[in-house]
Amino acid sequence: MPHSAPRAHFALTLLSALLLAAPALGADVEAQRIERILAQTPLVDGHNDLPWEIRTRFAGDLSKVDLSRSTLTLPAPAGSPPLMTDIPRLRAGHVGAQFWSVFIPVEVPGAAAVQMTIEQIDLVKQMCARYPDDLAMAYTAADVARAHRAGRVASLIGVEGGHQINNSLDVLRAYYDLGARYMTLTHSSNTAWADSATDNPAHHGLTPFGREVVREMNRIGMLVDLSHVSEETMRAALAVSEAPVIYSHSSARALVDHPRDVPDDVLRLVAANGGVVMVNFFPGYVSEARRRWDAERAAEVARNNSPPFGGLYIGQPERAKAALAEWERAQPKPAVGIGDVADHIDHIRQVAGVDHVGLGSDFDGIPEGPTGLDGVDKYPALLAELAHRGWSDAELAKVAGGNALRVLARAEEVSVRLRAARGPSTATLALDAPPQAQ
Q: Which residue among the candidates 53, 86, 134, 160 is catalytic per the annotation?
A: 160
H, E, C per residue of 200-251: CCCCCCECHHHHHHHHHHHHHCCEEECCCECHHHHHHHHHHCCCCCEECCCC
Is 346 a catalytic site residue?
no
| Calpha distance 282→368 (Å, rounded) | 7
Is 47 a catalytic site residue?
yes
Q: Which residue among the candidates 163, 249, 258, 344 is catalytic per the annotation?
A: 249
Q: Which residue among the candidates 362, 364, 377, 395 is catalytic per the annotation?
A: 362
Is 362 a catalytic site residue?
yes
Residues facing 154 on adjacent strands: 97, 136
Q: Which residue among the candidates 94, 148, 203, 228 is catalytic per the annotation?
A: 228
| Calpha distance 70→79 (Å, rounded) | 20
Is 148 a catalytic site residue?
no
Is 45 a catalytic site residue?
no
The answer to whether 250 and 280 are in contact (CB under 8 A) is: yes
81 Cβ contact partners less than 8 Å away, ≥ 6 residues apart? 367, 368
Closest C-alpha to 185, from 145, 232, 144:
232
| Calpha distance 223→89 (Å, rounded) | 27
Instruction: Indicate the SS3 state at residue 159.
Output: strand
| Calpha distance 188→167 (Å, rounded) | 17
Q: Which residue among the candidates 148, 187, 203, 347 is catalytic per the annotation?
A: 187
Is 94 a catalytic site residue?
no
The answer to whether 304 and 312 are in contact (CB under 8 A) is: yes
Q: Which residue among the candidates 49, 134, 294, 364 is catalytic per the annotation?
A: 49
Q: What is the amino acid identity at position 295?
A: A
Is 347 a catalytic site residue?
no
Give catalytic residues, as residue numbers.
47, 49, 160, 187, 228, 249, 362
